[in-house]
Chain A
Amino acid sequence: MSVVIILIVASLAVALLFLAGFIWAVRSGQYEDTLTPSLRVLAEDSNQAKQNPISETNSKLK
């Protein structure tokens, strides 16, 4: 069962990598605004605006 050491090390390495990612995300202000990112996605590219009247939906949400 010594192989469990490899798995724990590999799993922890991944977990620590993501912990660092999480700390970075929080510190750099990634999560300060949890509303606009979800709206911005909808309006991001121009040629789709032609097909989907986004501005209309956005104004309804506000």
Chain B
Amino acid sequence: MNTNIETFKYDNRIVRAFAIATVVWGIVGMLVGLLAAVQLFFPDANLNLQFITFGRIRPLHTNAVIFAFVGNGMFMGIYYSLQRLCKARMFSDWLSWFNFWGWQTIIVAAAVTLPLGLTTSKEYAELEWPIKIAITIVWVAFAVNLFGTIVKRREKHMYVAIWFYIATVVTVAVLHITNSMTMPAGWFKSYSMYAGVQDALVQWWYGHNAVAFFLTTPYLGLMYYFLPKAANRPIFSYRLSIIHFWALVFLYIWAGPHHLLYSALPDWAQSLGMVFSLMLIAPSWGGMLNGLLTLRGAWDKVRSDPVLKFMVAAITAYGMATLEGPLLSIKTVNSLSHYTDWTIAHVHVGAMGWNGFLTFSMLYYLFPRLYNTKLWSTKLANYHFWIGMLGIVFYVVPIYIAGVTEGLMWKQFNKDGFLQYPNFLETILQVVPMFRLRAIGGTLYLAGAFMMAYNLYRTAKAGQFEPDTEAQAAALEKPPVVAGKSSWHRMVEGKPLFFTVLATVSILVGGLVEIVPMFLVQANVPTIGSVHPYTPLEVLGRDIYIREGCLGCHSQMIRPFRSETERYGEYSKAGESVYDHPFLWGSERKGPDLAREGGKYPAAWHYNHMDDPRSTSPGSIMPRYSWLLTQKMETDTLPSHLAALRRIGVPYPAGYENGPAQKDLQAQADKIVADLKLGSVKADSDKEIIALIAYLQRLGTDIKTTPVTTAAK
């Protein structure tokens, strides 16, 4: 053993920076969530401003809590624990700060672009392509910093938490790049390279694994570090934690298709997703039990220590969410739960319980240590725990009730064989009281976060910040592996590790850019003869549909159940969305499915409905979109949009965008203005509403037997 004792310093400044960012963005993200929640029972809470209307701030809320709150919390915990587990300062202070400021810049960019309606519409991947590139760069910087620290570690054994961090950094990079393959059509507009069912599969492969590798694996690593530290006893079974890690890593990535059960995704892929989802119960519960059993004989501490209280609740929430997730992946259960608020309740058990509470516990653990003092008020922290707990209960219980109610009402037939509740609005009005209760739950949870912010602020004021913590450890002998073995692992462990990461990223980017368009263009050849590309006006309308976040509440995927075909019409086929870049199947229904909306109502109905939904549907919770009636549609960018779509396989003739497209657009717009006149609505043909109506009237009409009334061809 080497006896060269080295003295070095842990960097606490970076930990503090991420900690403050976590608190600030956490409160911002929750506030936005509350605003969104209030709009679901009081639509006018958007103040008739497009920038804060539900469709645009829903992605702002999800991005803020996932990437800003939990993201910063993850960096905070990793930067603190990794240094101590490796007995080494971070590899590069410069990279640490690049990571910090880069991430905050990305968050600010998201907070600006999403309310402006600049979105790809792909859930949890809404940010437009320049920001996506920035994310990749910052993430690679984080990866280099992480691996660099691991390489220069002074502790031979890599504690299990480090493995969880590695899984996070590698997998998130691969997921992000694969799902971000997009064709730019201007600085803040792009179209997914994949279309329809293919886009759906990639998106939910990403979406599910974002939950797995951004919200779960890093936090499990943090649990395995902070829980033993806070309880001051070793993890119940270190061996189990190792099994937990390897089982999760190999199982998680195949479960994505469970988001597309009963959709137009091929059945075998659905079954694959379901089977892997069910298998995930085993490692997840192993991990949960490992966490809870760590507190054997220390439960008396839980009574008094708010840090442990939050951890116990967080780990329990992890257990609940990871049991429920696989159950929701069973096709029979999913047929009831999908599109309903059940899913919303499920994710909030995970987000508020698991991620939120574990983040709070880490903050309460770290602040006194960073500032060399005691927590300002244990009592206030305990109050935070209980008010937060109450907030979760008031949030999820009503929303579970709402979800099951919706699912049952949608499927209910009367004794004559007709839908019991043929008017979709009736089923939503039934659960509006639950939406009100949910907002109370959210308010309580947010109040707790404010209490924490104050408590941490007072703690910081009372203490003395320690920018660097001095530590001592013996240097690691080199090579750090058992002598006599082959040397390939030395290669892996040495400097080439950075290059492995860089190479993985670059190979993926390069490979995908080359391969994807090549064979996806081929695969996009329509299998249904009557399916045509969208007309220029419909493309503009679709862009508006994406901008306004309509898919936050309206799905476009009718499942093959009688209750759905009775309500919406023929079930959706994969071949119908071959030109959908990106796919817009949606994942929840606060309003009816729109896959067969075309031709259901006259154009004038849509016009009046967008101006004031309550004029056509009394009691509707849809926001007003009156700005669509006055804003002029953006036709200058049409050529670049059509050209981008052609590049990724939509068969517009060459040169179509310079002349013929504009002519077609004007003709179709005039036709809609004429249609509107029939409903005694006077409108100009250059307004955004015209394009949106064109798109809505087109939806699902390709395979309808009745002649298409508004589409140009």
User: Measured between C-beta atoms, what is the minimum distance from A45 to chain B in Å?
Assistant: 5
Instruction: State whether the Cβ of B481 lies closer than 8 Å to any Cβ in chain A.
Output: yes
Give every chain B residue within 8 A of A20 (Cβ-Cβ): 492
Q: B504 is contacted by which of A17, A41, A48 (Cβ under 8 Å)?
A: A17
Q: A27 is contacted by which of B194, B234, B489 (Cβ under 8 Å)?
A: B489
Main secondary structure of the interface of A (DSSP, over half): helix
Q: B472 is contacted by which of A6, A40, A46, A48 (Cβ under 8 Å)?
A: A46
Give every chain A residue within 8 A of B158 (Cβ-Cβ): 25, 30
Give the interface size bracket for A toward B: 35 or more
Contact indicator B469/A47 (Cβ below 8 Å): yes
Main secondary structure of the interface of B (DSSP, over half): helix
Q: A18 is contacted by which of B155, B167, B198, B519 (Cβ under 8 Å)?
A: B167
Give the interface size bracket for B toward A: 35 or more
Instruction: State whether the Cβ of B437 lies closer than 8 Å to any Cβ in chain A.
Output: no
Q: A14 is contacted by which of B174, B228, B239 (Cβ under 8 Å)?
A: B174
Give every chain B residue within 8 A of A10 (Cβ-Cβ): 174, 178, 508
The digit string for B451-486, where 1 denotes a CB below 8 A from any CB of A, is 000000000000000100111100000001110010
Q: B228 is contacted by which of A15, A21, A42, A48 (Cβ under 8 Å)?
A: A42
Contact indicator B238/A42 (Cβ below 8 Å): no
Contact indicator A2/B519 (Cβ below 8 Å): yes
**Which single residue of chain A is at the shortest CB-CB distance from B515?**
A6
Contact indicator B489/A4 (Cβ below 8 Å): no
Instruction: State whether the Cβ of A59 lies closer than 8 Å to any Cβ in chain B.
Output: no
Give every chain B residue within 8 A of A6 (Cβ-Cβ): 178, 202, 512, 515-516
Contact indicator B178/A46 (Cβ below 8 Å): no
Contact indicator A52/B234 (Cβ below 8 Å): no
- Known pairs A14-B253, A22-B246, A42-B229. 13 more at Cβ < 8 A? A4-B201, A7-B205, A10-B508, A13-B174, A21-B163, A27-B489, A28-B480, A30-B157, A38-B238, A44-B87, A47-B469, A54-B232, A61-B233
Mark B residues whose CB is within 8 Å of A: 10, 84-85, 87, 155, 157-160, 163, 166-167, 170-171, 174, 178, 194, 197-199, 201-202, 205, 225, 228-229, 232-235, 238-239, 242, 246, 249-250, 253-254, 266, 269, 369, 372, 466, 469-472, 480-482, 485, 489, 492-493, 504, 508, 512, 515-516, 519-520, 522-523
Give every chain B residue within 8 A of A42 (Cβ-Cβ): 228-229, 232-234
**Which single residue of chain B is at the shortest CB-CB distance from A29?**
B482
Alpha-carbon distance A54/B249, docked complex (angstroms)? 33
Give every chain A residue within 8 A of B508 (Cβ-Cβ): 10
Give every chain A residue within 8 A of B266 (Cβ-Cβ): 1
Give every chain A residue within 8 A of B10 (Cβ-Cβ): 45
Alpha-carbon distance A33/B234, docked complex (angstroms)? 14
Contact indicator B253/A61 (Cβ below 8 Å): no
User: Measured between C-beta atoms, what is the minimum distance from A54 to chain B in Å?
Assistant: 7
Contact indicator B523/A48 (Cβ below 8 Å): no
With A7-B202, A35-B238 as contacts: A28 and B229 at CB distance below 8 Å = no
Give every chain A residue within 8 A of B194 (Cβ-Cβ): 3
User: Measured between C-beta atoms, what is the minimum distance from A38 to chain B in Å?
Assistant: 4
Contact indicator B85/A44 (Cβ below 8 Å): yes
User: Measured between C-beta atoms, what is the minimum distance from B187 to chain A in Å?
Assistant: 27
With A1-B197, A7-B178, A18-B167 as contacts: A37 and B157 at CB distance below 8 Å = yes
Contact indicator A1/B233 (Cβ below 8 Å): no
Give every chain A residue within 8 A of B520 (Cβ-Cβ): 2-3
With A28-B489, A38-B235 as contacts: A45 and B512 at CB distance below 8 Å = no
Alpha-carbon distance A25/B480, docked complex (angstroms)? 12
Give every chain A residue within 8 A of B160 (Cβ-Cβ): 37
User: Measured between C-beta atoms, what is the minimum distance from A8 to chain B in Å?
Assistant: 9
**Which single residue of chain B is at the shortest CB-CB distance from A50?**
B372
Contact indicator B198/A57 (Cβ below 8 Å): no
